[in-house]
Chains A and B, each alone.
Chain A
């Protein structure tokens, strides 16, 4: 069953923004902008080139997240979390459009959360992000991360506990 470009475009438009967000949170604050988008693009490119009915439409989302996460892991292990030219251009483009005070607050929140997430082990972080941002069930997360459901359950719980403890520490530090 050959999938035509219309179907692919629909899948792209539906999944791409969420995938970029997931990747950006997974990779961390240092790799804002283009790196997450590069990985998302590479994942879609592989999906498009690979796909000829081999990946059923219902599986596309899990396939893309799995491939994107593996690519992100490679990227992280290579330490290629540098900002690139387009990342800078996009930041400037974005900054010009928004209210500076609002942008500052948003950036601060993003940085705090990014820092907290970055401190988690990668697998805990990935499981929590798929649950909270993508609203995947434990079974779906297990398929994406290629681990057991019971491990997903434990990883998410530990991630939450760890984030919660760090959040409280930050609050205490801020109040002193």
Chain B
């Protein structure tokens, strides 16, 4: 029959109890037969396990093994691995993902600021603002979203249609 203190007896033998608890358990063991028996059994097991001996290797075998290891080539740097605890790896991954998201957000924000900000001088659309307004009957002006190619098409079409209208009116 085990006492509820038996687990603490195990901790006491391993010196894993705080001093005040160790004192309490030691006092308890002196009065509890079950715990005293457990202590004796645990100590006997300890002796048996410690006394377990392996067949000794001949000295030449151990020396030979050491020599084989020392003569082996070390791994090149790119084939080495470092063991990282899982929480640390998760933290590193989170930091990398966070940085990626942050960079993407910054890039998007700067893109929006550019598109809403001052007109781009280099694009043909902005160079001729009056000609890139919405053309009736020809849909929306997407020039803000491209590099001016579409606006150039509109311009060509409009010039063509204007020329056609002028010819018609002359006739």
Binding site for B on A (CB under 8 A): 5, 8-9, 12-13, 16-17, 20-21, 24-25, 32-33, 36-37, 41, 44-45, 48-50, 52, 54, 63, 86, 90-91, 93-94, 106, 109-110, 113-114, 117, 128-129, 131-133, 137-138, 153, 156-157, 160-161, 163-164, 167-168
Contact = CB atoms under 8 A, between A and B. Distances in A.
A17 B82 CA distance: 26
B-side interface size class: 35 or more
B69 to A, nearest CB: 5
A48 B70 contact: yes
Contact of A50 (B6, B57, B73, B80): B80
Contacts of A157: 6-7, 10-11
B66 A24 contact: no
A161 B108 CA distance: 64
Give the residue among B41, B50, B57, B72 with the most A Cβ atoms within 10 A: B57
Contacts of B62: 16
A106 B45 contact: no
Nearest to A37: B57
Given A9-B70, A106-B53, 10 more contacts: A17-B54, A21-B53, A24-B54, A37-B65, A41-B68, A50-B80, A50-B81, A91-B55, A109-B48, A160-B10
Given A160-B45, A164-B42, A20 B7 contact: no
Contacts of B61: 86, 90
Given A50-B75, A156-B14, A164-B38, A90 B57 contact: yes
B55 A137 contact: no
13 contacts: A9-B66, A13-B66, A16-B62, A17-B54, A24-B54, A25-B49, A37-B65, A45-B72, A50-B80, A137-B14, A138-B14, A156-B14, A161-B2
Contacts of B117: none
A128 B13 CA distance: 12
Given A133-B50, A167-B41, A48 B74 contact: yes
Given A33-B55, A109-B48, A113-B48, A48 B14 contact: no
Contacts of A132: 45-46, 49-50
Q: A interface, by DSSP: helix, strand, loop or mixed?
A: helix
B18 to A, nearest CB: 13
A114 B57 CA distance: 19
A90 B49 contact: no
B153 interface: no
Given A16-B62, A153-B11, A21 B54 contact: yes
A133 B51 CA distance: 9
B16 interface: yes
